[in-house]
Amino acid sequence: MGKAPLMVWHGDSTLPDVDLIVVPGGFSYGDYLRSGAMAANSPIMREVVARANAGTPTLGICNGFQVLTECGLLPGVLMRNASLKFVCRDVDLRVERTDTPFTHGYSQGQVIRIPVAHHDGNYFTDPDTLKSLEDNRQVAFRYCDADCALSEEANPNGSLANIAGVLNTAGNVLGMMPHPERLADPLLGGTDGAPMFTALAEALAA
């Protein structure tokens, strides 16, 4: 996009004028209370919520996804992995939506391989919320096996309906546990994450 990203301090209360907001992975505030819970209440998040609600594309990855659910931008919660253990490995994802600025570089039903690295990625909602997520096509990615099937073995954390990433109803906020940024370089073992960033750059330049 020809512009350097700006880092914003958690204690700030104003956001510069930006085209895209990314809430990255990490262990915000150590995740000591509950993953993402304290970060969701940091001063800067009030402004992030306002901008996202006003339409600025907003992407939350891993801990960022947890923060976006904790601050109410996305439905559902991320519970402790079903294994109760941290899991770091490459997973296969089925692309469920291609009509968003994040995913239009992929094809419908395409299987992409990118890693997860989390302790709390077990997506859960009540049945009504799940139904509305499905009805509104808010699921962006699901864990699948290499043949595109949604098996239990392919699910690294016990997520409901193998959900790996969800959108808000407007489609401008995406949260996902897997890390597209970690496999966007052939030296690191894969490039399936790269189309997300080239697609975003194209969509935002348009």
User: Please, which residue, 126 or 185, has the CB nearer to another protein?
Assistant: 185
88 near another protein (CB under 8 A): yes
Provide the minimum distance between the beta carbon of 136 and another protein in the complex, in angstroms, as a whole number.
33
- Exactly one of 6, 7, 89, 127 binds another protein (CB under 8 A); which one? 89
31 near another protein (CB under 8 A): yes
- Exactly one of 12, 13, 72, 86 binds another protein (CB under 8 A); which one? 86
> Which of the 8 DSSP states describes residue 7?
P
- Exactly one of 33, 43, 188, 202 binds another protein (CB under 8 A); which one? 188
| Catalytic status, residue 62 | yes
Q: How many CA atoms lie within 13 A of 205 on its CB side?
A: 9
CA distance 178 to 156: 10
Q: Determine which one of 70, 96, 118, 179 is catalytic.
A: 179
User: Please, which residue, 97 or 179, has the CB nearer to another protein?
Assistant: 179
CA distance 80 to 90: 19
| Catalytic status, residue 179 | yes
E-strand ranges in the chain read: 21-23, 58-61, 77-79, 87-95, 111-118, 122-124, 139-144, 163-167, 173-176
Provide the minimum distance between the beta carbon of 123 and another protein in the complex, in angstroms, as a whole number.
19
User: Do 81 and 157 meet the contact criterion of CB atoms below 8 Å apart?
Assistant: yes
Q: What angle do CA 99, 15, 24 make, to 5 degrees?
A: 55
- Exactly one of 45, 112, 179, 196 binds another protein (CB under 8 A); which one? 179
How would you classify residue 42: left for phi > 0, otherwise alpha for psi between -120 and 50, otherwise beta? beta
187 near another protein (CB under 8 A): yes
Active site residues: 62, 179, 181
Q: Which residues bind another protein (CB under 8 A)?
A: 25-27, 29-32, 85-89, 115, 117, 119, 179, 181-182, 185, 187-189
